[in-house]
Structure 1
Amino acid sequence: MNIIAHAWNPGDYHRHSAAQARWAHELIGKIKLAGDERVLDLGCGEGKVTAEIAARLPSGSVLGLDVSRDMIAFARERFPPERYPNLRLIEGDMLDLPFDEEFDVVFSNAALHWVADHGRVFQGISRALRPGGRVLLQMGGKGNAAPILAIADEILTEEPWTRLFGGPAPCYAFYGAEEERGLLEAAGLTPLRAELIGKDMAFDLPEGLAGWVRTTWHLYLEPLPEDVRPAFIEEVVNRYVERFPPADGRIHVPMVRLEVEAVKEPEP
């Protein structure tokens, strides 16, 4: 596989992904489904968003794809075919999509920032779509979570973290809107919209912020020995809360989402 299958904990992610689920719900509303489409959900994770799409397709179907075997197993258990007959879940790599003009809509939420080569993903999406098919994607964009990631990078310049991490600070694939437009066009897709949208991720307690870091910051945590990861998370959270104290009783992390809408033009 081309995407590294990070060690996701599906149950932990399910408990600490309320913001991602909320943004996905907003995004689903923008698809404007008729109810009979065939939809591909890339990076479907633990399946709750895919199941919501399935509920909007009484005469259609949705295929959820994720690189994590654990996520797919968790999703299959929570959303079994006897209860969700129009939902199918498979393990797979979005860099190597095997589909040929099978889908009316390709959807993805909070997944593409894990993949450096967006151009290759878009080429696979273009092949997977039927002529006239639509694309709606949202992911972390340029500047996403910048203040807290800067704190994590700062910590990695200090001992013992520099030695324990053993390499340069990681980098997520946070693209800008114009970069993404160019990659869509190169893949034969017509971009209708590509924009950076500011979002607020809020936590009632430091434990909630720690849960988000623990469940999604694989690029920072996996290079560290497992026994020191809790201490690293604690250091990130403590410094962030100290520098950005809650003004309304909640901890806020400024997020930037890159939202993309495109079509595969019908054949003349």
Structure 2
Amino acid sequence: MHAWNPDDYHKHSAAQRAWATELIGKLELAGNERVLDLGCGEGKVTAEIAARLPSGSVLGLDISRDMIAFARMHLPPERYPNLRFAEGDMLDLPFDTEFDIVFSNAALHWVSDHGRVFSGIARALRPGGRVLLQMGGRGNAAPVLAVADDMLAGKPWTTLASGPPSRYAFYGPEDEREPLRAAGLIPVRVELIGKDMAFDSPDGLAGWVRTTWHLYLERLPEEVRPAFVAELVARYVEGRPSQDGRIHVPMVRLEVEAVKAAKRWSTGNSSLR
């Protein structure tokens, strides 16, 4: 499990939040749904969903104990009575026909076995329930990742890095449709969407790398990670001159919309409370 810094992530995830807000709009909520937010992080997106559910509720789930602790502290039930958080692994969802919607933003690219996640989602949904997921897709952040890979192939970084290189699960539509069907979910829309992540300064780019690039940074000793981030940012900025004074990273999101086949409802209980 990766070590997340909730406070630092909260300060350097504006793009993720903006894309999540756009994604929430696509849910077209009636206001009475029960929603599961997978990979909720520090909770700000989950709270935005809760605000749109005056007669419904939302559960935010994340594997990071620190993220869940941050969310519970800053979004307490006294202020958000229809919002709760639980620590848990999206690979082992314990729910049985409890939710009308399963939502996730910027989380599934951390997990390689999407088929297992989809099976858990199908169990968690009521018949006729909906799925809306967005994650990094094939080609996501390719130019800046190429700079990092080049650095790790040369000195001094190659001698400092430990363990084999890891890769994010950046998949394409053709990788997702069959696992969805095998899990009992009917694909409605599976597509790659281009996005632009823009930063006003190198510090902004450094903050994004520092808070989310665990697969790269955790291979390096903690004391040299700031120097790696600084060199990466400097190389990327030098290699991609800007026309508007901002630093742009081309991103690709994989968006998945699906439904669970309607049938007689059953009742189940969760082991997370």
Return the TM-score normalized by structure 2.
Answer: 0.95
1:121 Cα deviation from its structure 2 partner: 0.2
The question of 1:44 aligning with 2:40 is answered yes
Q: Deviation string for 1:68-125 (max 9, x for gaps)?
A: 0000000011100000000010000000000000000000000000001000000000
Distance 2:164 2:150 in 1: 11
The question of 1:146 aligning with 2:142 is answered yes
Which runs of 5 or more residues in structure 2 are unaligned? Answer: 265-273
1:163 Cα deviation from its structure 2 partner: 1.4
1:170 Cα deviation from its structure 2 partner: 2.1
1:141 Cα deviation from its structure 2 partner: 0.2
What letter corresponds to residue 85 of structure 2 in structure 1? L
Give the equivalent residue in structure 1 for 2:128.
132
Distance 2:120 2:218 in 1: 29
Q: Deviation string for 1:29-48 (max 9, x for gaps)?
A: 00011111100000000000
The question of 1:91 aligning with 2:87 is answered yes
Q: Deviation string for 1:141-193 (max 9, x for gaps)?
A: 00000000011000000112111112333210001011111111111100000
The 8 Å contact of residues 156 and 169 in structure 1, kept in 2 or not, is answered as no
The 8 Å contact of residues 153 and 169 in structure 1, kept in 2 or not, is answered as no
Paired residues in the alignment total 264
Give the equivalent residue in structure 2 for 1:263.
259
Give the equivalent residue in structure 2 for 1:74.
70
Give the equivalent residue in structure 2 for 1:220.
216
Task: Determine which of 195, 219, 228 is the counterpart of 2:191.
Answer: 195
Distance 2:120 2:229 in 1: 36
Distance 2:13 2:162 in 1: 29
What letter corresponds to residue 122 of structure 2 in structure 1? S
Distance 1:63 1:168 in 2: 35
Identical columns (%)? 78
Give the equivalent residue in structure 2 for 1:22.
18
Which stretch shifts more, 64-73 or 176-185?
176-185
Give the equivalent residue in structure 1 for 2:55.
59
Following TM superposition, where does structure 1 have runs of at least 4 consecutive aligned residues deviating by more than 6 angstroms?
A: none
